[in-house]
């Protein structure tokens, strides 16, 4: 309910902002016109008008740049260091979407605000890309739901039903949203982005298609390399900060267990932590993978309890270590493989 009212308020804010724009005096319009001319001159110096693309978080930026390269100008809405599912857009974020030609979000509930934001941006020519469209999805299971909050959630859902609100418990969607953390999922997202750029700029269709094929070829080579490696190891189990690697596990026939759930929400109860300790001992887990934004302290506590080391793994939600998407995925796969060897 809080998010719902926040979205309504944001819509009102942006509506007022657009209304205020129409009442600016002629001097302001002249200044804006001069700014537009300067921006056009800058684009000409780089070889033509760039396609303005607004994206939600870093992985989407990586994919747009991989396909669009020097023909796109990408702005990222969610700041580094913030989980996409914790973010709430502000009026300036909606203004950035409104000013773009293309808006790219991953989908599947990771950016629960995206659809409302595109409507509030009030840009009828905006091309909106849900990058996960058409992907082979994994449904969330009961095992991924925080058990200690089940009773509380049931009470809240009952209250929502009495108030005629059926949104609670479904704002994240029914599927695991971390599609970009698998190489095959990334290929689907890049294909969708490529189609949008071609729709926006059909004159450069061959350019975008060639860049898309290059990315897919590189990611496929990486997949083939590690598919062979993972098939050769006996151990298949690893532990992460939150359950973000379901698609990667499906690709390589691995199994993850995690400190937090799919949406990095809630800390484990003492019972759940004890079960994780037993899981690590049973499967001889020697490395606990932690992400900067998902309970690194609890991951360290778990590692100390079972005599394991802690290593950082990338979720590619923020810019990290000045590395590209494929470089970070290579790092992830290498670390997981070494831990299983």
Q: Are 200 and 65 part of one and the same domain?
A: yes
In the block, tokens 């840009």 appear at 123
Do 239 and 194 reside in the same domain of the chain? no
Q: What is the pLDDT of residue 246?
A: 96
Out of 72-76, 293-297, 316-320, the most confident range is: 72-76
Percent residues over pLDDT 90 in the chain: 62
Per-residue confidence (pLDDT) for residue 184, from 0 to 100: 97
What CATH number should be reported for the domain holding residue 97?
Answer: 3.40.50.1980
Question: Domain check: are 189 and 247 in the same one?
Answer: no
216 vs 81, residue with greater confidence: 216
Split at pLDDT 50, 70, 90, the class of 166 is very low
CA 46 from chain centre, in angstroms, equals 30
Domain check: are 190 and 253 in the same one?
no
84 shares its domain with 183? yes
Query: Distance between CA atoms of 239 and 252, rounded to whole angstroms?
Result: 15
At 45-83, the pLDDT tens digits run: 334 699 999 999 999 999 999 999 999 999 999 998 888
**Does the structure show a pLDDT above 70 at 43?**
no
- Residues 102-127 have pLDDT tens digits of 999 999 999 999 999 999 999 999 99
Residue 292: the pLDDT is 73
Q: Which of 189, 218, 247 is the last residue of a domain?
A: 218
| Residue owning tokens 């290593």 | 311
Nearest one of 271, 279, 334, 269 to 308, comparing CA atoms: 279
Q: Does 214 share its domain with 237?
A: no
Range(s) of the domain holding residue 56:
2-17+47-135+170-218
The pLDDT assigned to 102 comes to: 98
Q: Reply yes or no on whether the pLDDT at 219 is more than 80.
A: yes
Can you spell out the DSSP letters for 130-141?
A: ETTTT----B--
174 with 274, same domain: the answer is no
- What is the β-pairing status of strands 237-242 and 255-260? parallel
Q: Indicate whether 90 and 52 sit together in one domain.
A: yes
Burial class (CB in 10 A: 0-12, 13-18, 19+), 30: exposed
In the predicted structure, residue 97 carries a pLDDT above the cut 70: yes
Counted domains in the chain: 2
Residue 145 lies in a domain: no
- Of residues 6 and 326, more confidently modeled: 326
Whether residues 10 and 107 fall in one domain: yes
**Domain contains 158:** no
Strand-strand pairing, 309-312 and 287-290: parallel
Using DSSP's 3-state secondary structure scheme, residue 335 falls into helix
Same domain for 60 and 192?
Answer: yes
With 70 as the cut, is the pLDDT of residue 25 above it? no
pTM over the 0.85 mark: no
What's the whole-number mean pLDDT along residues 76-97? Answer: 91
């Amino acid at each position: 309910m809080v998010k719902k009212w926040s979205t309504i308020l944001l819509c009102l804010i942006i509506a007022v902002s657009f209304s205020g724009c129409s009442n600016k005096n002629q001097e302001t319009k002249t200044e804006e016109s001069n700014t537009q001319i300067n921006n056009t001159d800058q684009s000409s110096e780089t070889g033509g008008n760039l396609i303005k693309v607004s994206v939600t978080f870093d992985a989407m930026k990586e994919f747009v740049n991989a396909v669009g390269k020097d023909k796109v100008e990408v702005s990222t809405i969610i700041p580094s260091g913030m989980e996409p599912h914790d973010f709430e857009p502000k009026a300036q974020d909606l203004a950035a979407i409104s000013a773009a030609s293309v808006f790219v979000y991953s989908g599947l509930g990771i950016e629960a605000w995206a659809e409302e934001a595109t409507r509030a941006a009030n840009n009828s020519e905006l091309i909106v890309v849900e990058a996960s469209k058409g992907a082979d999805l994994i449904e969330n299971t009961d095992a991924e739901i925080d058990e200690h909050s089940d009773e509380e959630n049931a009470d809240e859902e009952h209250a929502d039903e009495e108030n005629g609100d059926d949104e609670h418990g479904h704002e994240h969607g029914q599927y695991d949203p971390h599609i970009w953390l698998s190489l095959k999922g990334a290929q689907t997202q890049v294909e969708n982005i490529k189609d949008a750029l071609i729709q926006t700029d059909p004159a450069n269709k061959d350019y975008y298609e060639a860049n898309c094929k290059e990315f897919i070829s590189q990611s496929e080579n990486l997949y083939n390399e590690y598919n062979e490696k993972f098939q050769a190891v006996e151990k298949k189990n690893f532990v992460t900060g939150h359950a973000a690697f379901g698609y990667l596990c499906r690709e390589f026939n691995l199994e993850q267990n995690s400190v937090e759930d799919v949406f990095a929400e809630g800390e484990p109860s003492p019972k759940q932590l004890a079960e994780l300790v037993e899981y690590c001992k049973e499967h001889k887990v020697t490395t606990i993978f932690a992400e900067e934004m998902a309970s690194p302290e609890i991951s360290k506590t778990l590692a100390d309890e079972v005599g394991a080391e802690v290593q950082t793994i990338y979720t590619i939600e923020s810019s990290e270590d000045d590395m590209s998407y494929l470089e970070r995925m290579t790092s992830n796969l290498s670390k997981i493989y070494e831990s299983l060897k």
